Amino acid sequence: MGNDTGKVDVNKEHTRDGLVKILHDFRDAPISGEELGEKLGVSRAAVNSHINQLREMGYVIDAATKTGYRLVSVPDRLLPVELRVRLDDLGAADACIGCEIHYFPKLESTNDTAKAIAPDVHDGTVVIAEMQTKGRGRLGRAWMSPEGGIWLSVVLKPKIAPQDAAKLTLMAGIAVAYTMREFDIPAEIKWPNDILVNGKKVCGILTEMSSEADVMEYAVLGIGIDANVDTQKFPLEAKVSATSMQAELGHPVDRLEFTAKLLIRLNEEYARFEKAFVDGEIRAFDAMLDEWKSLSDTIGRVVTIQMRTKIISGEAAGIDHNGALIVETDGGIERVFAGDCVYTR
């Protein structure tokens, strides 16, 4: 329990988070400073000081002499305590994805930070930053990550073979596309790692992993979502191909609500993934592949795919059990695990 000496920051933070949770519980009816102090086990003066800190962070809290404090609004920040409140409200308090949430106003790359802490954290730990200064795409490409987006990485530790890790990208694509559709955004998955809206990229996924012998130690699933960012400020190449949820909807999205729902979707998909590849119930993956196909606009298209050593063209005919894209080329069927895909029709 926290105290009001302010000596231990962890305690202070713990008290402040407790205060936020109580203020949420009492949103409809104000609560007095005295009652808050009792609930938190701290003095009224300490309550006061925490309330002031919250206001400095952007919380709007009404205070009336007779009745007490009432939460009016929260800052537009992906604060772990706020995500936790929403996960609890949505019945996902014990979900694996988001069991720990590490939050930073600014990072070079959430994937890098997630990789650095991966050996020491639980499966499902999430790293979030409000902005990235060295956001990365595949093959070292730059990923624009200004404030207003959702830049996060999830540390995953399923006991799977390294070659199964690429399927985590498919899993994340399903979760992102479904969550966007919940928000009335007609998102589609473009193989292998893009989410498009009306043909423009609104999200990119970057899965990286570390393996020892033939066992995966951990994977880091990086998800970058252009939520409320102005993609018109991006450099030319990204500017023409990108869009944001805000631009598509005509109004900003509630990033906290979206992120909480995304984590819940990811948790559901991850449970299915583990059923398939850890418990060996491979049919669970068939269901995921069916979902992926129904959410993707790649199947049936004529595509050109640049791989590491060659380029192929043909019709994207399906996705196989291993998560490879099946392409019917003039020279026969090709199964492709990774590459840059362009729609040519």
Does position 208 interact with ligand BT5 (CB under 6 A)? The reply is no
CA 315 to chain centroid, in Å, comes to: 31
Q: How far apart are CA 200 and CA 193, in angstroms?
A: 13
Decide whether 138 or 275 has the Cβ nearer to ligand BT5. Answer: 138
Phi and psi at residue 13, to the nearest 5°: -65, -40
We find the least distance from the C-beta atom of residue 88 to ligand BT5, in angstroms, to be: 25
Single residue of 30, 98, 204, 339 touching ligand BT5 by CB under 6 A? 204
Residues 113-142 contacting ligand BT5, CB under 6 A: 132, 135-138, 141
Q: Which amino acid is at 36?
A: L
Does position 255 interact with ligand BT5 (CB under 6 A)? The reply is no
How many angstroms separate the Cα of 23 from the Cα of each of 40, 232, 256, 277?
12, 38, 17, 42
The answer to whether the CB of 243 falls within 8 A of the CB of 200 is yes
We find the least distance from the C-beta atom of residue 274 to ligand BT5, in angstroms, to be: 22
Single residue of 80, 98, 224, 323 touching ligand BT5 by CB under 6 A? 224
Q: How far apart are CA 293 and CA 283, in angstroms?
A: 15
Residues in contact with ligand BT5, counted by CB under 6 A, come to a total of: 29
Helix (H, G, I), strand (E, B) or coil at 232: helix
Residues 157-196 contacting ligand BT5, CB under 6 A: 193-194
Does position 228 interact with ligand BT5 (CB under 6 A)? The reply is no
Q: How far apart are CA 117 and CA 125, in angstroms?
A: 9
For 309, other C-beta atoms within 10 Å of its C-beta total 5
* Segment interacting with ligand BT5 (CB under 6 A) among 11-19, 20-28, 38-46, 149-157: 149-157
Decide whether 15 or 145 has the Cβ nearer to ligand BT5. Answer: 145
The answer to whether the CB of 41 falls within 8 A of the CB of 28 is no
Single residue of 18, 37, 80, 222 touching ligand BT5 by CB under 6 A? 222
The answer to whether the CB of 59 falls within 8 A of the CB of 73 is yes
Single residue of 238, 284, 317, 338 touching ligand BT5 by CB under 6 A? 238
Q: Interface residues with ligand BT5 (CB under 6 A)?
A: 109-111, 132, 135-138, 141, 143-145, 151-153, 193-194, 201, 204-206, 222-224, 226, 237-238, 241-242
